[in-house]
Structure 1
């Protein structure tokens, strides 16, 4: 029976994601374009590796009284047992109770980290 080195496998997956981020950082110099590109890379990455029950998008979170958040860069939500409040083009309203993780991706750019790693700022239910 053959064996798979999971540590090496996950290290290779991490290297693949870092290379994708580096490529986008090298290709785009405008901060807005670079940020949009990085957000799309993270959304695609999570969409590829999360179980199909979950979905990941940019979205606005809404509660039952109609209070809304600002646009959230990355929302992981239960796509199997919930529904979108509203979906128009690429814009989505998602019930606050359906979200599993909500994060703002804030770039940290420095000489030691030129590709722009992100700090993740969790947002709780009271944040909207």
Structure 2
């Protein structure tokens, strides 16, 4: 009896669907820049578009918002366009309308949303990242039926930048690589320029992928990286409580 041949895998439809998602976001960002004359308003609209995309592709254990990151010593980061943080174990604090204050211990990653990538925006995003990474993070033991889990060492906070395009003639080529912050607290680990591609340093060196499918490739790589670090450390809420007794 002749066996039915195995079907030939066909990923074309899935790749095309992912590329459609990217083109849709390109059109939204382009429409915002053409129809809104006030620059801060364009930036706010673009942030919301990116936040919507991140929320659509990240599991519900992660939340994405703009806001400030704070620590138990009273320090605060600069305003961050997109913060990926834990929503299961950690509440946001002092929320007022769209201004959220997120404990540093809850943060997985931070991103800046810009109209394009150039030297000044890369440096700016690196400075924003440093304002988060310099914050103090607590970690306490977690009780369980058999005793206690030791305090978890806080993982490195990822940082990146997203934009519609790159401003260099070679896209994400040598000019981009020569201006990418890649040391210390200002390091940018990943990002996406929709019309030119995406990048990350998750394997030790900067990897650049071309334009086609770059958005979803970037999101899947980011998701895999987030999965690899597990859950956030348990916050020492007693340290935050001490703020109320400080003079």
Question: What TM-score, normalized to structure 2?
Answer: 0.44
Deviation of the 1:30 alpha carbon? 1.7
Task: Describe the superposition over 1:95-119 as per-residue Cα deviations: whole angstroms up to 9, x where unpaired.
Answer: 1110111122233289xxxxxxx85
Contact 2:66 2:99 in 1 (8 A): yes
Q: Is residue 104 of structure 1 aligned with residue 108 of structure 2?
A: no
CA 1:95–1:127: 2 relative to 1, 3 Å: closer
Q: Which structure shows the higher strand fraction?
A: 1
State which of 31, 38, 50 in structure 2 corresponds to 1:42.
Answer: 50
State which of 25, 28, 31 in structure 2 corresponds to 1:20.
Answer: 28
Distance (Å, rounded) in 2 between the aligned partners of 1:109 and 1:65: 34
In structure 1, list runs of 5 or more residues that go unmatched. Answer: 111-117
**After superposition, where does 1:1-128 map in structure 2 within 5 Å?**
3-5=10-12, 6-108=14-116, 121=125, 123-124=129-130, 125-126=133-134
Deviation of the 1:94 alpha carbon? 0.2
The alignment yields a C-alpha RMSD, in angstroms, of 2.5
In structure 2, list runs of 5 or more residues that go unmatched. Answer: 1-6, 137-247
Contact 2:76 2:135 in 1 (8 A): no
Deviation of the 1:121 alpha carbon? 2.8
Residues 83-92 or 72-81, more deviating: 83-92
List structure 1 segments (4+ residues) > 6 angstroms apart after TM superposition.
none
Task: Describe the superposition over 1:18-44 as per-residue Cα deviations: whole angstroms up to 9, x where unpaired.
Answer: 111111111112211111111111111
> What is the number of residues matched between the two proteins?
121
Contact 2:75 2:135 in 1 (8 A): no
Larger Rg: 2
